[in-house]
Structure 1
Amino acid sequence: MGETRNEALAAWIKAHHMSAEELADAVNDAIGDLTGKPGATSERTVFRWLSGENQWPQARQRTALEIVTGRTITALGFVPRGKRKTVSTPPAPRPEDTSVHRRRFVGAATGTAAAVAIPLASPATPSRVGTSDVIRLRDHIANLVELDAARGGHTALERAALAGASEALSLQKLSATQRVRQRLFAIASDFTATAAWSLIDAGQLDNAGRHLDRALTLAGMAQDSEMIMQVWNLRAMLARQRGDYAEAVAAAQAAQATTAVRRSPMHASLAHARTAVGLAHSGDHRAALRSLGRAEDAMSKADTATPLPVWMTFYGPAELHSITAIVRDVIGHPAEAEAASYRALAALPGAYRRNRANATVRLALAQLHQGDVEQACTTSGDVFQIMAGAPIPGRIRQTLGDFQRDLITMASSTHIAHEWMDRYRTEWSTP
């Protein structure tokens, strides 16, 4: 038949974790917005697009697809009639492929807290709520993840995330279908968890637990195992920062029990790694190493070609090496911790500045715990160069505080220790 699978469209659907039915709904909603009458696109229609049986949708469907995805119809792999379609691997999404509305939101969120408060939705109350609204809000979550990667957790990010959650909950009251309502509950949970993470990363822990309680409730209402896993992962991180290691272990074990973990080796790896950290701090060193081994085994079974959910994009070999460094250092294996830190730094993409700073301070701690004070002070000083021009997140400041405490304990009388404290104390302790 000469049909060629539309890999570009398939890649977009996969990256957005959508089903063919959801895309059909979104296209119909967009047609309704354009014409005043919902479209008649079916799940079967989407399957025909994907298989290549239909390489050029109807005009209204083409326009709706561009509205829904923010890409041109040809970038989605469709070919005008009369032109031959060549087989190629779809290019990675480029920044210019995203919608103008999305870029404006990122720009606003990067600015002041007042700018972040710009409403996510159009001023008019929508008459109908459907899958296109779900996609739009998911894109806003992705924007916030990008902002978090650039700036770290901060108050404006928390406010933007809570505004997104509020909009999702308002829209679910207007939704006509149970499926869309559940997806909006899941999105509200995701936004609320993002608000909690912004506080955890900033070291402002008081309200983070309240946000996570709310996020877990919303995830349960959505019946969304992915979101439940995300919330338990953050709960484990929050408990560890508070020094409640028993709760950290319990939360990580709750994450292990989710359906998302049973389905995905990468999710399982993260849950076991979080458990390992909690167990190490609890003093159960053998169990910590067993959990670390399970995390490594699970990651070895993961399909690296499968896109991760937006909230999990931070997790991969580099992050597992970083967690290994923490576990090894806590249980008294600083040489192994140093080696793991070097592996983390080697595996980290260049754009992950905050992760690189965090791995660097963990490397400095491992060196200090081996008695190499001069090298440790030099390494820790690199953190300030890595983060030059950007605020140091609260979590990293906390770890630098651990470094100074151990430096005073181990080498308080040395010149290098006093020089480090005189040079960096103000820099690392200032929010």
Structure 2
Amino acid sequence: MANRTLASLRRKAGYTQASFVAAFAREAARLGIDASVSVRQLRRWESESPPPLPHPSQQAVLEVVFGLPLAEMGFDVPAHRCSDVEWIGHDGDVKRRAFVTGSGAIAAAAVLPNQHGPRIGASEVAAFRARLADLYAVDHQSGGIPAKAPAERLERELTHVLSSSVYTSGVGRELHTILCELACHRAWFGYDSGPPEAARTACLEAMTAAQLIDSPLLQVRALNTLSLLSIDAGRRWEAASAVENAYSLARRAGAGRTVHLVISLREASAATHSDDLSGARRALSRAVSYVGRADADTEVPRWARFAGPVEVDYATAAYYTREGHPERAVSFLRSAVAGLGGGYTRNTAWYRARLAQTLLATGEVEEACHEMTGVLDACGGVSSDRLRRRLRAFEKAAVRADARCVRDVIERIRETR
């Protein structure tokens, strides 16, 4: 008798035989498992009686794709293939091994106490990941304030799924990883839009979650945001400690140059705000070195892809401003503004507002007003508390200049409140 169960599962998941083979390959790559399947082999699984048993690496991928143990896919699975303790928790507990020996269904349900909930597999994980990726676009285009609401909705849905659904340990790890990345997002949104207390709480949640899933790179991401929050709070020692821990974790994870570049930028910021200008120069030198070698990176986390020459120019400008030479900062800020590509509307407004402030500090009043007018023209759709603070800082500094362009810009700034 043909394996109608597997064929039915595939069709319900929306796959043709060819698209399932492609999805299988993607999931194997994501899991880091050396496994593949051909259309011919899939046809044998679905048509032969009894169907040939997938080998263990194929089993691991199939169980993640469908969110079911192999025994529930129409295969006759030997007992020793149903009792692998690692697939429900990796705790090596001999007593648990005895408890789960036998039914694959028990092993699947052991992930959660409620074994009657909906099954969650790779397709549901992919949908959550797509929504997580959408948050990057909202943040880059419109700022942290409008990104908060969809992030909170996604968190509620993920929490509900984790507490009321049935899934394999592989799928569970993916869901926990998404929840951790979401906490990292919320920490960043809080840095951009406040309140700082909520941002710090989200940051600490992300660090804890990253430790629980043993993801040093996500710990690095959370520590990078913590360093920024610590600088704003005047906790310079904490910012420096976050940077040192981020370096250590990045080395442990074998992270590439781009991740190290992000950390060096945070190091430069922490040193600059602490008036450790020699330390800031060293960090900037590291950043320049990492930028020059970043092309060799074969894989860059999504959260680190923004980093490049633009951010090094911006950090260099901050160094010169802190050193008391705003005129030297201007050329680096111009380069940073010019180098930002499309899709970074919020950052463009940030950087251009800083350029306007710096031009004002050098006495270039008309040019400063021109840059700030450009910010005001372009930032109508951006909701960012940090940007608002920069507009207010420009207003406060500009009121001392007696020029028509200044009065016009100040009036427009006040209209944005």
TM-score normalised by the chain length of structure 1: 0.67
Structure 1 position 217, deviation (Å): 1.0
1:242 to 233, 257, 282: 233
Separation in 2, partners of 1:199, 1:266: 24
How much does 1:24 deviate? 6.7
> Structure 2: how far apart are the matches of 1:22 and 1:239?
42
Distance 2:398 2:236 in 1: 24
Matched, 1:325 2:317: yes
The alpha carbon displacement at 1:321 in A equals 2.2
Output aligned runs, 1:3-402, within 5 Å: 13=26, 18-21=30-33, 127-154=118-145, 157-172=147-162, 174=165, 177-259=168-250, 262-303=254-295, 306-388=298-380, 390-402=381-393
Q: How many Å apart are 1:414 and its aligned residue?
A: 2.4
User: Contact conserved, 2:262 with 2:304, CA < 8 A, in 1?
Assistant: no
Q: Tell me which amino acid in the other structure corresponds to 2:331.
A: A
**Correspondence for 2:403 among 405, 410, 415:** 415
Aligned to 2:80: none
Secondary structure at the residue paired with 1:134? helix
Q: 1:198 to 1:13 in 2, by over 3 A?
A: same
Letter in 1 for 2:201: R
CA distance, structure 2, for counterparts of residue 349 and residue 299 of structure 1 = 17
CA contact (8 A) 1:149 1:352 kept: yes
Larger relative helix fraction: 2
Structure 2: 5+ residue stretches without partners:
1-21, 67-115
Measured after TM superposition, the shift of residue 405 of structure 1 is 3.5
Distance 1:149 1:344 in 2: 16
How far apart are 1:139 and its partner, in Å? Answer: 1.7
CA distance in structure 2 between the aligned counterparts of 1:328 and 1:39, rounded to whole angstroms = 68
Give the gaps of 5 or more residues in structure 1. 1-8, 47-60, 66-124
**C-alpha displacement of 1:360:** 0.8
Distance 1:176 1:391 in 2: 39
Displacement of 1:344 after TM fit? 1.3
Shift of 1:349: 1.0
Structure 2 letter corresponding to 1:181:
G
Deviation at 1:339, TM superposition (A): 1.2
Contact 2:144 2:383 in 1 (8 A): no
CA distance in 2, matches of 1:203, 1:222: 27
| CA contact 2:313–2:336 (8 Å) conserved in 1 | yes
User: How many Å separate the matches in 2 of 1:42 and 1:372?
Assistant: 71
Give the CA deviation at 1:210.
1.2
**2:376/2:413 contact within 8 Å kept:** no
> Per-residue deviation at 1:208?
1.1
**Does the Cα contact within 8 Å between 1:321 and 1:341 map onto a contact in 2?**
yes
Shift of the 367–418 alpha-carbon distance from structure 1 to 2, 3 Å rule, reads: closer
In the TM superposition, what is the alpha-carbon distance from 1:246 to its structure 2 partner?
Answer: 3.1
User: 2:279 and 2:52 mapped to 1: Cα distance?
Assistant: 56
Give, in whole Å, the separation in 2 of the partners of 1:267 and 1:382: 32
| Cα separation, 1, equivalents of 2:191 and 2:34 | 34
Higher relative contact order (CA 8 A, sep 6+): 2
